[in-house]
A = this chain, B = another copy of it.
Amino acid sequence: MFLLNTWYVAASSDELSATRPLGRRICNQPMVFWRDASGKVAATEDFCPHRGAPLSLGRVCEGKLVCGYHGLVMGCDGRTVSMPEQRVRGFPPVKAYPVIERYGFIWVWPGDAAAADPDKIHHLEWAESPEWAYGGGLYHIACDYRLMVDNLMDLTHETYVHSDSIGQPEIDEAPPATRVEGDEVITSRFMQNIKAPPFWQMAMRGNGLDDSADVDRWQVCHFVPPSHVMIEVGVALAGHGGIDAPKDKKASSIVVDFITPETDTSIHYFWGMARRFKPEDAELTATIRAGQGKVFGEDLQMLEQQQKNLLEFPGRQLLMLNIDSGGVQSRKVLERLLAAEAAASAASTAT
């Protein structure tokens, strides 16, 4: 159960070269992505209307997607452009997907193409401003996308899953506050006068701060439909205002999570970190990226085994504690939007 009339991250820009198409299943739909001669991205079903071969096994020649089986040339609109020695006008089209490249990512709209509105892609300031640097990666995880939303909206798991990097008992001890603003869910946690855990000590050193100093730490998780979680995180030298401290007194970042459903029980997980200090320091970007990749890799086994357990015991009601409030509220937003999408779809079918 995922929203279809919305934008999902399908790939990072650097995954898509000028000559090779990329096949990827999004929301249970096999898609192929490629760049036209101007570099603009196109996306259609990954299905050649000639004999059903996956177009993603083909090549991109001068911006045209050529099927690797018998040379059919597919257009950005899902209509066949040409095929050697054939008249293609009567060929049945395949589905074309609205697709936009923005902020270093390729965004796709798997639902009703007529409803696709580029303005509905959320504004990401960190992706546009030279004050920020970004590094990230992609994991494939065999779990329902909502289990990953739960994971990111309840950071008490850091104490257990990431005990030697970003976890610390003070997270458990600081109760989170959750609020809903329209379709957005925000869970905040603030900790005062604590020691920074290893990952943040590394970041403090990266920003020229004394890594043994007492700090104020914050985590402000934002869930935004369909399944993005952005987390403002950081530490500031204690007593300088925490999240509002001046730039030279803190190390702060945004944890970026685009969770794209592949199937009902698997996701493409685009993770990354945008930081607002020393954006020009490429080595620091690489260090942070490696550290975050290791940390986020620790969640994989837990999520996949949790998924298996839930499939085995489908009737069991899970607990909804205060720490789960972020995930619970996010699911409520999703349920409301899913119901609205179903109602709109039923209405359009009826007319």
Does A319 contact B51, Cβ atoms closer than 8 Å?
yes
When all copies of this chain in the complex are counted, the total is 3
Q: Which of B51, B84, B92, B154 contacts A324 (CB 8 A)?
A: B51
Q: Which of B71, B85, B309 contacts A46 (CB 8 A)?
A: B309
> Which of A30, A68, A70, A172 has the most chain B CB within a 10 Å cutoff?
A70
Contact B30 A309 (CB under 8 A): yes
A150 CB–B CB distance under 8 Å? yes
> Is A350 in the interface zone, CB < 8 Å from B?
no
Question: Is A8 interfacial (CB-CB < 8 Å)?
Answer: no
Q: Which residues of B contact A157 (CB under 8 A)?
A: 69-70
* A52: contacting residue among B47, B52, B313, CB under 8 A: B313
- Residues in B neighbouring A68, C-beta threshold 8 A: 160-161, 302
A side interface size, CB within 8 A: 51
Interface centre among A46, A67, A85, A301 (most CB of B within 10 A): A85
| Structural contact, B69 and A306, CB atoms closer than 8 A | yes
**B52 lies within 8 A of A310 (CB):** yes
Contact in complex: A306, B173 (CB < 8 Å): no
Known contacts A30-B312, A318-B51, A319-B51, A84 near B306 by CB under 8 Å: no
A175: chain B residues within 8 A (beta carbon): 85
Chain B proximity mask over A30-46: 1 for CB below 8 Å, otherwise 0: 10000000000000001
Q: Which 10 A-B pairs have the closest CB atoms?
A: A84-B172, A53-B306, A54-B305, A52-B309, A52-B310, A50-B319, A70-B156, A71-B160, A51-B318, A68-B160
